[in-house]
Structure 1
Amino acid sequence: MKKILLLMLTLLLTIGISMPQVQAKANDFKLGNEVLLEKYAHLIDGKRVGLITNQTGVNSQGKSTISVLAEYPNATLTALYSPEHGIDGKAKAGAYVESTTHPTLKIPIYSLYGSTRMPSAKMLANVDVLLFDLQDIGARSYTYISTLNYCMVAAKQNNKTIVVLDRPNPLGGLIVDGPVLEDKFKTFVGVDNLPMTHGMTAGELGQFFNRKIGANLQVVPMEGYTRNMIYQDTGLRWVQSSPVMPDLQSVFGYNATGLGEGTGIFQADAFKWIGGKGIDSKKYATLMNNAKLPGVTFIAEKRGSAGGVRLKITDYRTFNPAKTGIYALTYAHSLNKFKVPKSGKTIVMFDKIMGTNKIGLYLSQGLSPQQIEAKYAPQLNKFKEERKKYLIYQ
């Protein structure tokens, strides 16, 4: 009897000790913008600070980095820089955004999606150090990382330090897929030799970009972040990053449904549906479901005259957006034989998004999605090896 009581007491003590430790671990996660003032304040103390940000630049309590820096007594916030969609994230995709003045701080908000996409020497004249605090969505064609790249180039040219306040990749750090961008197809929707889904944080991307730029780059890392974490693991509330990116379903669906530029295959309902005219929804759903893609099922759904499927993500950890997107586009082509856009003297948007003209060629040849995957696999595997040099988190 005494042995049983002793065992029970030991078990209770173990539970009592371990539970708070688990809770403490869950609370250990910190964003780069929170770690900045705790451990890296020397990077901005006594400096004039420029901040590249928008409405996503908030800490875990939802307070904007603009406000935090404006209240910080040891540095002076002198300029703001906004990416595509503007400082409040409300401008439509591709819409010209004017530079303006912050209504209360009375400092300039320089638009990096207006007359220029790279800060000019004049825009940087009153700044000693640039901070980058934007929430990316983990896709090569999302332009916030292009803004980071361009700002790194400007920092190099103007002898400024640039500091990335790191944030999570919402898709996690394990899924890496899709064709790797070729140099010829570098644009603002594909700024470097990345696959569609790169599995890197902004800080890691900064280190990757810097292999060619050579800027004075500093990364303020997150704490308590690991590669296997998706956004849902961080405890953070998703802040709508752009007009059609309201929630995490949209973030995960972006590369899966948004690759059909110029083909007539389109996304709807904020990247949760894909389809087009001349497609039989039931046949499309059958093809997609029979592919047994990880973490997702497909529901036949017609939208007006277009047939298509709605994505139902069943496992956000294993779901592979880029792979899903290649399959969705290839099977759509097998059903309605859409005309594949082709680049000539000018590069069409389809090839810019793909980062290559080869996917269009493979579609025209009638290759299966499995064959297309095999075609881009060698370059993808090379990238995965190269990427290891720039990773911050285990």
Structure 2
Amino acid sequence: MNKVVLGIERLEESIIRNASIGLVCNHASYNSEFCHLIEVVRKYGGDIRVVFSPEHGLYGVSYAGEKVSSYYDKDFNVDVYSLYGESKAPPTDLLRSLDFLIYDLQDVGVRWYTYISTLYYSVSSSSKAGIPLIVLDRPNPINGVIIEGPILEERFRSFVGIAPIPVRYGLTVGELAKYYSSVLGLGGDVRVIQLEGWKRSLWYDDTGLDWIPPSPNIPTWETAIVYTGTCLLEGTNLSEGRGTTVPFFILGAPWINAKRLSRELNKLKLLGVFFRLVYFRPYYSKYLEKYVVVCTYIS
């Protein structure tokens, strides 16, 4: 297996040295040697003026939907501006003081994952500020071939549905940034540091790369596969498994007849999937500290 080379690993020192830079990154913005983007930029002589953090914060510890505050980070010695608090977009007046903005967040390939909304506003704000946006590309973990689900209708647009794209859109973050810029008309100077060795047919376990959970409830790359469907349960009174060690792999509620539900779902004969009865007690989210009867599936 040939290892895919990440965009962060193809970032050239000559671009970075002596430049005033803003970063959009989090705890998963590492290269294959586990050197963080902040460390890489400083090693190359860049002046990091501000770090913009997405949902879950710079260290990925805030719960889904929890507002994150801006602050000064003593570990990295940098100002951290939250893009999941009072504002969702990098302020243009701040961006105008920079030479360029660098975006490096691992996506999961699903429309309602909010990092691509942060990408949308990064493209928009950098365009308005008149500075380049450099996107360090990362693989789409659920491959770049399969496209599924309806295109978002404008009337349902929100931060968990920022653009008219399918649920599973089959693009890398670099390709999506270009799509936002050119097709959706956000404009700007979007520069993508492309992957090397990535093919559209690759799933994440084909890349040779280590998986760093990009958010608290995507602990494994396989979670991204089931998240495509079971995250839809968030809008119901069923638990989607948040508050367990296997989020999105289980579904249910205290009042559900999981044995019957499992039996009915197995009658569908879904390829590679088997449903079974389990019990769990969430440590946060829906049905906190209550025993939940659920069914789970194994592929």
TM-score in same-fold range (> 0.5):
yes
Match of 1:69 in 2: 41
Contact 1:281 1:302 in 2 (8 A): no
- Contact 1:57–1:134, Cα closer than 8 Å, also in 2: yes
Q: Secondary structure at the match of 1:77?
A: strand
Q: CA deviation at 1:46?
A: 4.3
- The CA distance in 2 between the partners of 1:70 and 1:42, in whole Å, is 13
Map Cα deviations across residues 71-109 of structure 1 (whole Å, 9 max, x no partner).
113x32222110011100101111121111231553311
1:10-40 deviation per Cα after TM superposition (whole angstroms, max 9, x unaligned) = xxxxxxxxxxxxx6xx14x200000112xxx
Computing the radius of gyration from Cα coordinates, the structure with the larger value is 1
2 CA distance for matches of 1:52 and 1:33?
Answer: 13
TM-aligned CA deviation for residue 302 of structure 1: 4.3
Which letter does structure 2 place at the counterpart of 1:298?
A: F
Residue 223 (1) aligns with residue 209 (2): no
1:193 matched to 2:199: no
Q: Which residue of 2 is the match for residue 237 of structure 1?
A: 210
Match of residue 256, structure 1, among 202, 216, 229: 229
Q: Which residue of 1 aligns with 2:135?
A: 164
Offset, 1:165:
0.3
Partners of 2:119 and 2:205 in 1: how far apart?
A: 24
Task: Give the superposition deviation at 1:43.
Answer: 4.3
Aligned to 2:239: 266
User: TM (normalized to structure 1)?
Assistant: 0.68
- Quote the residue 2:284 is aligned against: none
Question: Quick one: distance in 2 between partners of 1:60 and 1:184?
Answer: 41
% identical aligned pairs? 35
CA distance 1:278–1:175, change in 2 (3 Å) = farther
Per-residue CA deviations over 1:183-202 (Å, capped at 9, x if unaligned) read: 11111001101222222110
RMSD of equivalent CA atoms = 1.9
Structure 2: distance between partners of 1:295 and 1:128: 50
CA separation of 1:295 and 1:225: change in aligned 2, threshold 3 A: farther
For structure 1, the 5+ residue unaligned runs are 1-22, 314-394
Structure 2 counterparts to residues 143-182 of structure 1, below 5 A: 143-182=114-153
CA distance in structure 2 between the aligned counterparts of 1:242 and 1:232, rounded to whole angstroms: 18
- What is aligned with 2:298? 312
Correspondence 1:115 to 2:101: no
How far off its partner does 1:237 sit? Answer: 1.6
Please name the residue that 1:340 is paired with. none
Flag the 1:79–1:197 CA change in 2: closer, same or farther, 3 A. same
Query: Tell me, what secondary structure is at the counterpart of 1:267?
Result: coil
Match of 1:88 in 2: 59
The yes-or-no answer on 1:293 pairing with 2:270 is yes
Deviations for 1:161-202, whole angstroms, at most 9, x for unmatched residues? 001100011111122212221111111001101222222110
Distance 2:68 2:270 in 1: 39
Is residue 131 of structure 1 aligned with residue 112 of structure 2? no
Write the distance in 2 (CA, Å) between the matches of 1:186 and 1:154: 18
Higher relative helix content? 1
Give the Å deviation of 1:277. Answer: 4.8
Q: How far apart, in 2, do the equivalents of 1:152 and 1:194 lie?
A: 16
8 A Cα contact 1:54 1:82, kept in partner: yes
- Determine if the alignment matches structure 1 residue 50 to structure 2 residue 22: yes
Q: Distance in 2 between matches of 1:256 and 1:262?
A: 12
Report the residue type matching 1:127 in the other structure. L
Task: Identify the residue that residue 391 of structure 1 maps to in structure 2.
Answer: none
Q: What residue is the counterpart of 1:36 in the other structure?
A: 11
Q: Which residue of 1 aligns with 2:286?
A: none
- 2:147 and 2:272 map into 1 onto residues whose CA distance is 15
Q: Distance in 1 between matches of 2:26 and 2:173?
A: 15
Q: Distance in 2 between matches of 1:256 and 1:77?
A: 38
Q: Is the aligned partner of 1:280 residue 2:245?
A: no
Contact 2:21 2:50 in 1 (8 A): yes
Supply the AA of the counterpart residue of 2:197.
G
Alpha-carbon contact 1:110-1:123 (below 8 Å) kept:
no
Residues 166 and 222, structure 1, Cα contact 8 Å, conserved in 2: yes
How far apart are the structure 1 equivalents of 2:120 and 2:59? Answer: 21
Contact 2:28–2:106 under 8 Å retained in 1: yes
- CA apart distance, 1:227: 0.8
Q: Which amino acid aligns with 2:22?
A: G
Q: CA deviation at 1:305?
A: 6.2
Structure 2: segments with no counterpart, 5+ residues: 281-289
SS of residue paired to 1:294: coil
- d(CA) in 2 for partners of 1:294 and 1:62? 37
